[in-house]
Chain A
Amino acid sequence: MSDSAMQISQVHPPRSRRLLKLILLAAAVVALVALGGWFNPAFLTPENGLAILRAAAMSGIVAMGATFITISGRFFSLALGQTAMFAGVFMAVLMAQGLPFGLAVAVMLLAVVAIGAVQGAIISMGANPIITTLGAGALLAGLAGLTTGGRNIAIESAVVEWIGNGRILGVPTQTWAFLVSVAVAWWVINKTRFGRETILIGANRATAGASGLNVSRITILVFIIASLAAAMMGVFEAAQFSKARVAGFGAVDFDVIAAVLIGGTAIQGGKGSPFRAALGAVFIATLQNYMLLLAWSSGVRTLITGAFIVLIVAGFHIAGRRKGA
């Protein structure tokens, strides 16, 4: 079988295998929860469960957007944490200027769309996605400093207060937003023409381009989607404390990347599922929460996250090559 034909055929793995991956991942989450509860009763309380879901929601929402980047074959963005920070800060500054909440969000989202589009455009010209987003991230951190003078900005608004701490049917707003974005991402990837196109340019960019897909347009859209997801997280983060902070988004990109990879999204593109990435985010949040309850230091947690990524990347890579050979 020719190289391209093989890759296209992998776009549709048998339903049973896809289901198996999902079940395996779900089993891992359940096992982790059971193990956690066994060793530490405080782990299994409903309050802690909601805390995990809220933490998972934050990186999970961003992971939904980041999945698009990875599926389209552009690896990752290292600017999503800074995009979230910039979005929160920019919205807070606009509201401090007296703009109502809706208008501030609209203006902020326009800026974020532009940020994503510019990165996507540079990358679609063939630039290295990791380095481009690294530069864009530094630029955004600088812009956030520029708009605030490096100070945290307080937000005084009942709506924002509710977005950050409100509960619907006893479940935090963040979690609802997470569920909705999982559904939307799943629908877009699996049921729309754009989703199919994203998978195809990830599976084989040259073939996709040759068969008439507009690779640049799709790449730009993919980065806009990821930036919007990051902005959503930024708004939630700022709303939770009614304050937009200009620091503290350093680990976001790491958690997001870990979630996407654990979800089994192929790093070379063309394969992946938002649903599994969401489960990946829950897994990471559970693991982080568990290690936190064990009073393990953030260093150990970071070390384990990094080791996880290396192992998973290498493991999937070897497994993928076996299958291909």
Chain B
Amino acid sequence: MTLLKNPLLQRVLLLVIVYAAMAASVTNFGTTGNAYAILESSAMLGIVAAGLAVNMMAGELDLSVGSVAACAGLVAIMMSGHGLVIAIIAAVVPAVLYGILQGYAIARLQISSLVFTLGTFIGIRGLAYVISDERTLSLALSDLGISMALRERMLLIFSPFSLLMIGVLVLTGLLLRYSRPGREIFAIGGSRKESRAAGVPQTRPLVLSFATSAGLAALAGALASLKGGSATPGSYETVLLAAVTAALIGGVSLYGGRGSMLGVLIGVLTLQVLLSGLQLLGAPNWAANLATGLILLAFLGVDLVNGQSPVADAVRRYSLRARA
């Protein structure tokens, strides 16, 4: 019974239940072909969620990830003639620089990241419209090989794109847990004041977390657009919502200092299994909105009780009193 109290195990259980429910109600849901499709559609969300989760662990939130992903997608398509690697570098490097600047500004101004990134969320979206001249950009026919290479099925259910997503999650997870900058991010997210008193630098981890969220959002946007073969300036508007939802399902707290990349992976898969299932059941496209919104609000409630919120404090006080 104590095993069931492990939060990570609870989340795996939730994923298994959602998967089983979908497999029971949709024919051919449990096939390897469908598993490949689900992983393939989780890949972009997973990479964005990894960056955003780093941000949330630092106790901040970068609202501009969707806009950054759209810009990066456009740049990647524009540069696709120079090959996959150049296209991705051209998309990701400016985003990382932007993330560093944004993180530095937020750290030095000591301003709420919600408010600051709200402005960049709007502005960068405008930039996407400007650099694309409000048109949809497509891969040249001669470059379609890039798209095919990214989605090529391998190892039964994987593709290069979904393997990369898992690689990104593993790498950021390891860096967060075992590197000094990673521990600093956890420390400032867990408690700003105490971490400062203990001598943890405040600017460096913040800059790092915003560089990560912007860089990974750009990587995800570039890869997804290259895979899809086209990029529109209005795309990826819902990825912020989905990524926050996935991170919350995975146990990353909006109050900072909590969460793991394994949890994020489980969260991403749970959300994607549910959304793919709904789609295969023939639900119209507003159903995804409805479901994501409901799940987000539900897990906000879970986070309220588990995180460092006033409600959680009240619950803890109450349970201590009950035990005494």
Contact = CB atoms under 8 A, between A and B. Distances in A.
The answer to whether A and B belong to the same complex is yes
Interface of A: 75-76, 122, 125-128, 130-132, 134-146, 149-150, 250, 254, 257, 267-268, 297-310, 313-314, 317-318
Main secondary structure of the interface of B (DSSP, over half): helix
A196 B202 CA distance: 36
B146 interface: no
A318 B105 CA distance: 12
B114 A314 contact: no
B102 to A, nearest CB: 9
Interface in B232-254: 233, 237-238, 240-241, 244-245, 254
Contacts, number: 157
B149 interface: no
A304 B129 CA distance: 12
Contacts of A254: 122
Contacts of A146: 286-287, 290
Given A138-B241, A139-B289, A314-B109, A303 B61 contact: no
Contact of B296 (A131, A140, A150, A314): A131
Given A132-B297, A313-B116, A142 B289 contact: yes
Given A126-B304, A139-B289, A139-B293, A300 B119 contact: no
B8 to A, nearest CB: 22
Given A76-B118, A128-B61, A137-B293, A300 B126 contact: yes
A132 B293 CA distance: 9
B286 A150 contact: yes
Contacts of A125: 304, 309-311
B115 A267 contact: yes
B18 to A, nearest CB: 18
Given A146-B290, A299-B126, A310-B119, A130 B284 contact: no
Nearest to B295: A135
Contact of A127 (B123, B134, B292, B300): B300
A130 B293 contact: no
Nearest to A308: B119
Given A144-B286, A306-B123, A314 B105 contact: yes
A162 B126 CA distance: 35
Contacts of B127: 299, 303
B288 to A, nearest CB: 8
Contact of A142 (B109, B130, B291): B291
B121 interface: yes
B31 interface: no
Contact of A307 (B116, B123, B132): B123
Contacts of A136: 293, 297
Contacts of B227: none
B308 to A, nearest CB: 9
Interface in B73-123: 105, 109, 111-112, 114-116, 118-123
A134 B129 contact: no
Given A301-B126, A313-B119, A142 B300 contact: no
Contact of B114 (A130, A306, A307, A318): A130
